[in-house]
Amino acid sequence: MAEILIYIESNENNVLDTTYDLITGVKEMAKNSTVSGVIVLHPDFILSDEIKNNLKKYGLDKLYILKSDKPFFQKNEEPFLISDLIKNINPEIFILTSSTTGREIAPIIASILDTGLTADCTKIEIENIDNKLKLISTRPTFGGKLMASIICKKYPQMATVRAGTFKKEEINNKQIEILEFNFPHILNLKSEIIEYKKDKKDEFVNLQNAKMVFAGGLGLKNKENFEKLKLLCKKTGAIMGATRKAVDKGFVDKKYQIGQTGSTTTPEIYVAFGISGAIHHIMGMENSKKIIAINSDKNAPIFKYSDIGLVADASEIIDELLKSLN
Ligand SMILES: Cc1cc2nc3c(=O)[nH]c(=O)nc-3n(C[C@H](O)[C@H](O)[C@H](O)COP(=O)(O)OP(=O)(O)OC[C@H]3O[C@@H](n4cnc5c(N)ncnc54)[C@H](O)[C@@H]3O)c2cc1C
């Protein structure tokens, strides 16, 4: 049976919801194929029965676990390990989410395997022609003015898919086959980890699973206003996001960036504070359910994408909201 491989992305001790979304989407399209996943386990990750059950429940037929008892650099070793697995199992299609990790490792894997990759797809279709699977990957091009549907003539056919393209759903999947491999550190890397300590201050910014996001742009003007936005997020349970310009100015860390070269987020509510609405940013948040924009320029492009628009000073609105919460 033809096999489709999915990259199982995890953080701390969880598989990301965006991965479950992708599994369901792919299984719905390719009911007669084996939908497999590959997870590279970090030494401190516990793959619980609950996670295995969720993977099965949302449509995974088979799971390849690549395991090590030595710490390793994710971006250095994962692409090589996954490429080795792919060379052995020969899936016809390999799909990842277009998260920061997916975007980093997918091109390396495509290059190792000498195949093609369509990045940042907003739609994928899988056709079965004479028992061969054909992946049709669609993504915006020319700054979002055109949609291009792309096929790859080499194997595996690879794509990264944006968050929000699919939604996880329980599928009547009876069983999941689990295959576990311990990988030796055979790679001739120029670096080696001697000790592995988690940085307690470096909290993970879970934009991908956020229910509410408050994002700031250059219109917030300075670091202090971003601190206020952070406080507002803390008080309301929102996750903070930012534009690349705000990151480049040093107002916030890069891990908060939303957009083409940052995270993708699909919350119930997305509020843009002082964000112009450049296509590179829109690509990371356009699938949010309700978009609210606050901008001092009534002609700002962000208003075209918004359900509610407010022409106002963004930092004054943050002050007012904080006051009302005190
Ligand atoms: C290859 C490439 C990849 C990129 N990737 C990303 C990405 O991943 N994410 C991303 O965000 N960008 C990305 N960019 C950059 C993107 O094109 C824009 O430059 C950026 O998103 C603009 O950020 P901004 O809205 O904060 O700033 P600006 O475009 O400068 O907009 C600031 C806005 O603030 C408003 N404003 C000013 N003062 C106030 C006030 N007091 N109150 C309220 N509003 C106010 C202004 O009217 C304006 O609309 C990328 C660019 C390239 C070329």
Say if residue 236 is in the same domain as residue 135. no
Say if residue 176 is in the same domain as residue 226. no
Domain range enclosing 294? 212-325
Ligand 1 contact, 217 CB (< 6 A): yes
Distance of alpha carbon 102 from alpha carbon 105, whole angstroms: 5
pLDDT at 90: 97
Say if residue 248 is in the same domain as residue 290. yes
Say if residue 239 is in the same domain as residue 319. yes
Ligand 1 contact, 318 CB (< 6 A): no
Distance of alpha carbon 213 from alpha carbon 292, whole angstroms: 10
Radius of gyration over every alpha carbon of the chain, rounded to an integer in angstroms: 21
Strands (E) located in 3-115? 3-7, 10-11, 14-15, 34-41, 62-67, 93-97
pLDDT at 174: 84
Of all protein residues, whose CA lies closest to atom 18 belonging to ligand 1? 278
Whether residue 109 contacts residue 77, with contact meaning beta carbons closer than 8 Å, is answered with: no
| 92 domain-assigned | yes
pLDDT at 278: 95
Say if residue 169 is in the same domain as residue 226. no
Buried residues in 226-258 as b, exposed as e (16+ CB within 10 A): bebbbebbeeeebbbbbbbbbbebebbeebbbb
Say if residue 138 is in the same domain as residue 238. no
Name residue, tokens 């971003």: 226
| 194 domain-assigned | no
Distance of alpha carbon 271 from alpha carbon 316, whole angstroms: 15
Burial group, residue 184, by CB count within 10 angstroms (0-12, 13-18, 19+): exposed
Whether residue 112 contacts residue 83, with contact meaning beta carbons closer than 8 Å, is answered with: yes
320 Cα to the center of ligand 1, angstroms: 23
Whether residue 272 contacts residue 292, with contact meaning beta carbons closer than 8 Å, is answered with: yes
282 Cα to the center of ligand 1, angstroms: 10
Residue 291 CB neighbour total at 10 angstroms: 23
pLDDT at 151: 95
Whether residue 287 contacts residue 263, with contact meaning beta carbons closer than 8 Å, is answered with: no
Distance of alpha carbon 163 from alpha carbon 97, whole angstroms: 7
125 Cα to the center of ligand 1, angstroms: 32
Query: Phi-psi bin for 78: left (phi > 0), alpha (psi -120 to 50), beta?
Result: alpha
Angle at 9 between CA 88 and CA 17, to 5 degrees: 135
Of all protein residues, whose CA lies closest to atom 7 belonging to ligand 1? 259
pLDDT at 44: 72
The H-or-E segment that residue 311 falls in is strand 308-311
Q: What is the pairing mode between strands 308-311 and 290-295?
A: parallel
Distance of alpha carbon 180 from alpha carbon 254, whole angstroms: 35
Ligand 1 contact, 262 CB (< 6 A): yes
Q: Which of 260, 271, 285, 303 to mutate to test the pocket of ligand 1 (most atoms within 8 A of CB)?
A: 260
Half-sphere exposure at residue 121, Cβ-oriented, CA atoms within 13 angstroms = 23
Tens place of pLDDT per residue across the chain (326 aa): 899 999 999 877 789 989 999 999 999 999 889 999 999 987 777 889 999 999 999 999 999 999 876 766 666 788 988 999 999 999 999 999 988 889 999 999 999 999 999 999 999 999 988 889 999 999 988 877 789 999 999 999 999 999 888 999 999 888 999 999 887 655 566 667 777 676 666 677 888 889 999 999 999 999 999 999 999 999 999 999 999 999 999 999 999 999 988 888 999 999 999 999 999 999 899 989 999 999 999 999 999 999 999 999 999 999 999 999 98
The count of structural domains within the chain is 2
Burial group, residue 131, by CB count within 10 angstroms (0-12, 13-18, 19+): exposed
Residue 179 CB neighbour total at 10 angstroms: 13
Say if residue 248 is in the same domain as residue 317. yes
pLDDT at 184: 67
Within 8 A by CB and 6+ apart from 199, the residues are none
pTM of the model: 0.77
20 Cα to the center of ligand 1, angstroms: 31
| 265 domain-assigned | yes
| 288 domain-assigned | yes
CATH code (residue 107): 3.40.50.620
pLDDT at 95: 98
325 Cα to the center of ligand 1, angstroms: 28
Say if residue 176 is in the same domain as residue 254. no
